[in-house]
Amino acid sequence: MSVFIRALARCMAVLGLALSFNVAGQQPITLHGAVQFDDTHPFNKALLKFEELVKKYYGKPVNFVLHRNSELGLEKDYFAYMSQGISVDYGIVSPAHMSTFAKAAPLLDMPFLFRDLDHWNKVLDSDAFQPIVDDVSKKADVMIIGYAGGGTRNLIANKPIRNMAELRGFTMRVMGAPIQTQMFGAIGAKPSVIAYNEVYNAIQTGVIQGAENEAAGLDAMKFYEVGPNISLTQHAITVRPVCFSGKTFRKLPPDLQAAILKAGKEAGKVGREIESGADSGLLAKLEKEGKLKTWVFTDRAKLLELAEPVKQAYAKEIDATAILNKVNAIK
């Protein structure tokens, strides 16, 4: 009798285990995203669009949890989590955080990489950055599935800067990366590395004459109060890859994988449209309010000419010459 009971118990245990697997198999997959901002930010809007499109293309239940306002840390943390396959499955991350794995990744943020917004869009819709995508996937196990971004950086000055003559000798704050100092020195300015939170006072006290930033930054820091002249150099247009964990991706069913790849590309494009539109719209709003004055930089072609040797030298240094040449060739 005891043998029969033990056998029955084993059968019930196996049946229970099978049922638990079946129930688990019916539970919708949950994907976790992370972002540093709230839902007014273009990154959030792009990631919410990604969620919407994945659900549409997959056509089956799938849950998304977007952790907002730096709940899970900063972008560098998200990238590390995606690389390890823990905590974060998708997010938008600056190329700077990929440089440890892919030497050429910083090229995506190089000043004067793009001629204008049209060129920027065409490059991002091409396969020019595929070697970087492949390198990040291979070495970090993070997939780049689309491109957001679109913030355009211009000069912020305490006087009008409209041409090369007015730019010559312009003392300005730049970010700490050597390429920034090299680039702005090459075009005739006098760059100086200053902490971001000291820029306002540095302009106000005459230590420098200005800086460079995108519209959201100059608005948040009120740089227009000390540097009300915005020179439309458009020297940098941000690229912010939409990323997905390779370790997570490989665990997903093929039809969900296909939905993620399609949605990532489309959501990134939506994010670019939102951010580039918001950028120019904010400048127009601030100008209408009388807080700043925008100036067309009439010698922009000369800026690109002077920047090219610096771009080529930097690309050679990070083994990205072929990528840069492909970007330049796109019309």
Q: What residue spans of 194-253 are helical by DSSP H?
A: 199-204, 215-220, 246-251
* Domains of the chain in sequence order: 2-329 (3.40.190.170)
Ramachandran category for residue 59: left, alpha or beta (phi over 0 → left; psi -120 to 50 → alpha): left
Token match 């000798």: residue? 169
**First CA to last CA distance, the chain:** 84
Per-residue pLDDT at 207:
97
Q: Which residues contact 60 (CB under 8 A, 6 or more apart)?
A: 28, 255, 256
Q: Which residues contact 200 (CB under 8 A, 6 or more apart)?
A: 221, 222, 223, 225, 226
Per-residue pLDDT at 24:
42
Per-residue pLDDT at 41:
87
- Cα distances (angstroms) measured from residue 182 to each of 110, 111, 189: 11, 10, 10
21 Cα distance to chain centroid: 39
Per-residue pLDDT at 26:
65
Per-residue pLDDT at 58:
98
- Cα distances (angstroms) measured from residue 262 to each of 31, 99, 142, 318, 326: 16, 26, 16, 30, 24
pLDDT along the chain (331 residues), means of 10: 40 34 63 93 95 98 96 94 97 90 90 92 96 97 96 96 98 88 95 92 98 90 97 94 98 98 97 91 96 97 94 94 96 93
Per-residue pLDDT at 21:
32
Token match 């370790």: residue? 247
Question: Under DSSP, is residue 70 helix (H, G, I), strand (E, B) or coil?
Answer: coil
How far apart (Å, rounded) are the C-alpha atoms in residues 77 and 88? 9
Q: Which residues contact 1 (CB under 8 A, 6 or more apart)?
A: none
Per-residue pLDDT at 216:
86
How far apart (Å, rounded) are the C-alpha atoms in residues 105 and 115? 19
How far apart (Å, rounded) are the C-alpha atoms in residues 241 and 137? 12
